[in-house]
Structure 1
Amino acid sequence: MFAQRSLLFLLLAASSVVALSMGIRHGFGFFLPPMTQSFGWSRETFAFALGLQNLVWGVAQPFSGALADRHGPGRVLLLGGLLYAAGLALMTVSSSTLLLSSSAGLLLGLALSCTTYSVVFSVIVRAVAPAYRSRAMGLTAAAGSFGQFIMVPVERGLIDGLGWMPALFVLALMATLLLPLAAPLNRAYRAAPALPQASGGMLRAMAQAFAMAWAQRSFRLLMAGYFVCGFQVVFIGVHLPAYLRDHGLSGEVASLALALIGLFNIAGTYSAGQLGSRRSKPQLLVAIYLLRSLVITAFVLLPLTPLSVALFAAAMGFLWLSTVPLTNGVLVSLFGVEHLGMLSGAVFFSHQVGSFLGVWLGGLLYDRTGSYDVVWWLTVLLGLLAAAANLPVREQLAPGAAQRA
């Protein structure tokens, strides 16, 4: 395991990667009104592109995670930074549905799979002692929330001050900052204790690890719960600004709401990581999904005011990414650390299928009904189902995983 100084440097680099990558994407909802107006799109067109982004992110995540497990995160992060910058720049000329789906959907989805949790967690779990892994993952996940807190008002300010097209070019330049952060994470991976590699090629090793995981009921239930997490947070993150605008609230209220989600998520995610080191992680997940359903119900039923929006954002923010360190912590308890990047990516794929449906259905049902009401109530119902799915999950090493713990 790392010395304290080296560990702090690793966590700083990993947190910076997640903060920048997640921070930029959390402001995409502000581009929905100006881009749809400029190109004459429906909301479904923009929502489908971002839904595709989440789906591509989920499909690619097990492979980028497996590459990081096997060869280190350096090249994966370099590729992700380049794809991120290219995708943002090409969004400025994406005047058709196909072009937008290729830039905002395909390229940015691939970029996010290379620059977020599964890749950086594959390093952290190797470098951090088992007793502190949950806390370290909570701290790193909280950095994503700090990135949202910082980047959401920055992106809205860029759009208001420069216009949506120059704002995308500025964000593309910011994405290149991911490139130099690849080096310290790769050095940390090389310095961590070596783990045995499965025989055969990477695809065979992935298939063997996934088959072992899929045989465990707890793994399948985690995937079900994470599907709901993706549906809820991406629907809210992308469609909340438009929802508030439809109800006569200003852009400042929407910007404040997304910033508050990011701010309170710092505390919520870090707290989840801390509690996960002492309490049952599945039980904490049950509580999070139940609380999300209660918060959304109150938000839909109460009068919509700037105060109610702020309270909703603060409460949802505390619950926003708190599932990330807990879910990954359960995976470590079940399967050890050798294949964490790949298995985390596999569970995350389920999250992103939910993300795709949340953002796309939000746009589709709005265009069909003129309201987001059906989707709001669907998020409530799914939250209750996710809580029920996590109740039977158990934290115990799976058969066949002992030698790789």
Structure 2
Amino acid sequence: MSQTFAPNAAAMRRRPWVVLICAATLVTIAMGIRQSFGLFLRPIELDTGIGREAFGLAIAVQNLILGLAQPFVGALADRHGAGRVAAAGGAIYALGLVLAAMISGAVGLNLTLGFLVGLAMTGVTFVVAIGAAMRVMPPERRGLAAGIVTAGGSVGQFLLVPVAQGLITGFGWRESFLIFGALAGAMVLLAIGIAGRPAVPQTGGAHTQTFGEALREAAGHSGFWLLNAGFFVCGFHVAFVATHLPAFLGDRGLDPALGARALALVGLFNILGSYVFGMSADRWRKKHVLAGIYLARAVLMVLFLAFPVTPLSVTLFACTLGFLWLGTVPLTSGLVGQIFGVRYMSTLFGIVFLSHQLGSFFGAWGAGYAYNATGSYDLAWQISIAIAVLAALLHWPIRDAPVSRLRAA
């Protein structure tokens, strides 16, 4: 049965590239600031005495709040529109960074950089932004749209991580948070570009799926849970590397600026990776590409640890990991939309993203805990390699055909 869209959807479809650009720019700012937080670890530690485990816990809290709140915020975006949600997220993000500039202990760090920033990011990162972009694109271009929005996060990482290093060196970490708070406030204006309530499909009198039915449908699909498990691994990798790689390199006696350059290179090369994997989502079976990404990550980490850690090896590692960094996002979100449709895209992808953020919690905090317990990051690297192989295996059996409801339509 054919479907037509409500007038609001038609209005959105007249400006798909405006929505896409604003969504990508929101992610550019939000993720660019977030990926610089690892550079603040040592300055905050030296200035306030807040240790690595405590700092890692704050980032872990941020990731956990982002994950726990994301399905609910995604549901708000599905019901009331992405623009309102993104505007609120931008305002809270700015508030969290401004207050973080005033902290003196671990509790304040957890409340600001942890809770407030984590809550804010639910409205201005991948789930809400990709959901808004995919809804205004035809099905054959949704993978590319998701890839472009994902690449926005990498552009931000490439541009803002070096800026953060320069600000910290030139002004101090507190002043850097204030400057980034002003930048985060700009997201409130960008939210206007993705405003508009999601369309409700008009089915000529046929039954329209309800919110509860969408949740039950996903819960009864094994592929949905396999995607959750795989995205947990992605979250662990991203949070571990972003939070602890600069400190890991510093422990090896390398220039602290190398950590900033490495994270910037990860962002630079993921611009290409996100675009390539976004295109692949429209051409090849997404689950196979995902399995290949996780297996490649495992091999890369093994090779990185097998050779002496030098500026050259760090550069090669950062460039290769960058290509693989967030290529999982357009593929995973694409699978959610492909299997279940896009009406409740932000809600369902928000649940999968919760799993990603649970992995991020353990990647950020667990690596710091392992460091304090063992005096090195070796255990964290070993776990990263093992779960990467596991994720590659988990994606292979996913049933990626659209559910029977979509096939019938």
Do they fold alike, i.e. is TM over 0.5? Answer: yes
The 5-angstrom pairing of residues 5-404 of structure 1 reads 6-186=15-195, 189-190=196-197, 193-195=199-201, 206-400=211-405
Structure 1: runs of 5 or more not aligned: 198-203
Query: Does the 8 Å CA contact 1:42/1:367 hold for their aligned counterparts?
Result: no
The letter of the residue matching 2:149 is T
Q: Residues 196, 30 of structure 1: CA spacing in aligned structure 2 closer, same or farther, 3 A cutoff?
A: farther
Separation in 2, partners of 1:142, 1:194: 29
The letter of the residue matching 1:49 is A
Separation in 1, partners of 2:210, 2:86: 22
The letter of the residue matching 1:234 is A
Among all aligned residue pairs of Structure 1 and Structure 2, give the percentage whose two residues are the same amino acid: 43
> 3-12 or 256-265, which moves further after superposition?
3-12
Deviations 1:155-179 (A, max 9, x none): 0100000000100000000100101
Deviations 1:72-131 (A, max 9, x none): 012211110111011111112222222211111110000010101111122222210001
Deviations 1:227-281 (A, max 9, x none): 0000011100110000000001102211110110000000001000111111000
**Superposition TM-score, scaled by structure 2 size:** 0.93
Separation in 1, partners of 2:310, 2:19: 42
Question: What residue is the counterpart of 2:206 in the other structure?
Answer: none
> 265-274 or 87-96, which moves further after superposition?
87-96
Q: CA deviation at 1:195?
A: 3.2
Aligned residue pair count: 395
Separation in 1, partners of 2:176, 2:200: 43
Deviations 1:43-69 (A, max 9, x none): 100000100100000011111111111
The letter of the residue matching 1:11 is L
Separation in 2, partners of 1:135, 1:286: 19
Question: What residue is the counterpart of 2:6 in the other structure?
Answer: none
Separation in 2, partners of 1:59, 1:28: 21
Query: Does the 8 Å CA contact 1:2/1:128 hold for their aligned counterparts?
Result: no
Separation in 1, partners of 2:12, 2:348: 27
Separation in 1, partners of 2:300, 2:120: 32
**Superposition TM-score, scaled by structure 1 size:** 0.94
